[in-house]
Amino acid sequence: MRYFFSDVRYWVRGHLGRAALALLLLAGVATGAVFGVSALSDDEPELEPEPAPSPQVFVGRADAPEEPAELGFPAFATSNTTRVAGQDPVADAAGIALATFPPGANEGAAAVTLVDAEDWAEGVAASSLVAEPIGAPILLTDGEDLPELTASALDSLDPAGNPATGSTQVFSIGGSPEPRGLKASAIDGANAAEVAAEVAATREELTGEPPEHVLIASSDDPAYAMPAAAWAARSGDPVLFAQADSVPAATIEALEGIEDVPVYILGSEDVISGSAEREIADAAGSEVKRAATADDPVTNAVEFARYTDAGFGWNINDPGHGFVIANSERPADAAAAAPLSGSGTWGPLLLTDDAGSPPAALEGYLLDLKPGYEDDPTRALYNHIWIVGDESAVSVDFQVELDEIAEVARIKAGSGDSFLGPDTASPEPEAQDRDGTDPGADTDEPQDGPAP
């Protein structure tokens, strides 16, 4: 048989250990396995037409097409994680758009938003168009050019427009191209602050309602602003921009046009200063609160995921949720990943600044939310983590650690305390201290037994 291919659905639920996952990747490289979308390949033999493209894996072919591998369809999964393995944000955006709005579905994407991959801030602002009722996933461009992956994804999505989008099929942000044959609406401005204000005005015009809240993010530091994209996609709240010590005129004007709407700042005074906060409060005519104040972007994203105030904020402080993790060095991935937060498991965007392993703040947060059960795992709550980017963004070892952290664990009793332990049929261990030592022993050396 000259070649073989088979469908690989993006919701793969196989439980892969560290070795199995690594072998899967190595086998893919060694045999020329390529994950991608069959519809994007020009050198495949003609197949019977399908109603929509589906993820494919091509095995054992020296001439396997390379381009589909660049598309960010989930290339592999563990029990509790799914990766969208794009080599760059353009590929991630294409894969995520097709995964969250699969072609051929009864209700696909009515519109698509095009944003230049270099304009991360405009992408963050455009994320509010992902939220219902507009539901426009983001695809990324190369300036005024459509990368082949973006063009192919746009063709597959085939947006038709509807009343919620004002019949618009493509929202063109900040000078992005307006594809021929599609009704496009340009949302432009001289800078990110102006574009963000125009996005807010466009959404309000389309929905006929003012926003419930406004989120102010930094236009100077992308790592602190990235989590705003996920919330905008979840809620539809507009994201406006401030600089470290000043507030752009476009932001001031937008705030003055919105009455009695609560305003929240994402970041500490080192990111958006107290003087800038006062300008924001004066323009908004209402109290301004800070939704996160951490000294580093990773912890800042965690704080924002925990935050809640009068209907604003994720308020994720217990198990049973979805999460999205991206690398802070790839800020355009925030916009690319926004549809994952506006559908499916509706999770906040968390960040890593290390591709090799989870930073302490991220790991600690996910451990706090580790799900457990006493008797019946089918009645337990579960966490699921989307990983955005290839191994250069998040390594395989990193993914395996995340899978282990997110895995539901049996709650066992021990020495008057409860702890999470492996679900085995072995006898209950003898009483132990929380550090794993035998309280009756004369030594401080750790004893064998389940970890706390």
Q: Which of 12, 88, 19, 10 lies closest to 397 in space, CA to CA?
A: 19
Weakest-pLDDT range from 27-31, 37-41, 248-252, 371-375:
27-31
Percent of the chain exceeding pLDDT 70 equals 74
pLDDT at 18 over 50: no
Q: What does the alpha-carbon distance between residue 172 and residue 187 come to, in Å, rounded to a whole number?
A: 6
pLDDT of residue 266: 98
Residue 226's alpha-carbon distances to 120, 218, 309, in angstroms, are 9, 9, 20
At 104, the pLDDT band (50, 70, 90 cuts) reads confident
Mean pLDDT of 414-442: 41
Domain boundaries, the chain: 4-71, 76-406
pLDDT of residue 441: 41
Mean pLDDT of 139-151: 96
pLDDT of residue 412: 75
pLDDT at 198 over 60: yes
Weakest-pLDDT range from 4-8, 63-67, 432-436, 437-441:
4-8
Looking at every residue in the chain, the average pLDDT score rounds to 81
Mean pLDDT of 173-189: 96
Residues 350-391 pLDDT 10s: 999 999 999 999 999 999 999 999 999 999 999 999 999 999
Residues 148-173 pLDDT 10s: 999 999 999 999 999 999 999 999 99
Would you state the torsion angle of the CA atoms of residues 254, 350, 130, 340, taken in this order, to the nearest 10 degrees? -170
Q: Which of 199, 195, 214 lies closest to 285 in space, CA to CA?
A: 214
Hey, what are 425's tokens?
């049929």
Residues 394-403 pLDDT 10s: 999 999 999 9
Q: What does the alpha-carbon distance between residue 279 and residue 265 come to, in Å, rounded to a whole number?
A: 12
pLDDT at 32 over 70: no
Q: What does the alpha-carbon distance between residue 305 and residue 320 come to, in Å, rounded to a whole number?
A: 14
At 103, the pLDDT band (50, 70, 90 cuts) reads confident
pLDDT of residue 450: 37
Q: What does the alpha-carbon distance between residue 348 and residue 79 come to, in Å, rounded to a whole number?
A: 20
At 327, the pLDDT band (50, 70, 90 cuts) reads very high
433's enclosing H/E stretch is none
Percent of the chain exceeding pLDDT 90 equals 70
Residue 209's alpha-carbon distances to 129, 203, 256, in angstroms, are 14, 9, 16
Weakest-pLDDT range from 24-33, 138-147, 342-351:
24-33
In this structure, how many other beta carbons lie within 10 angstroms of the beta carbon of residue 389?
A: 27
pLDDT at 247 over 60: yes
At 411, the pLDDT band (50, 70, 90 cuts) reads confident
DSSP 347-413: PPEEEES-SSS--HHHHHHHHHT--EESS-GGGS---EEEEES-TTTS-HHHHHHHHHHHS-EEEEE
Q: What does the alpha-carbon distance between residue 304 and residue 313 come to, in Å, rounded to a whole number?
A: 7
pLDDT of residue 413: 55
> 420 pairs with which residues across the strands?
411
Residues 219-245 pLDDT 10s: 999 999 999 999 999 999 999 999 999
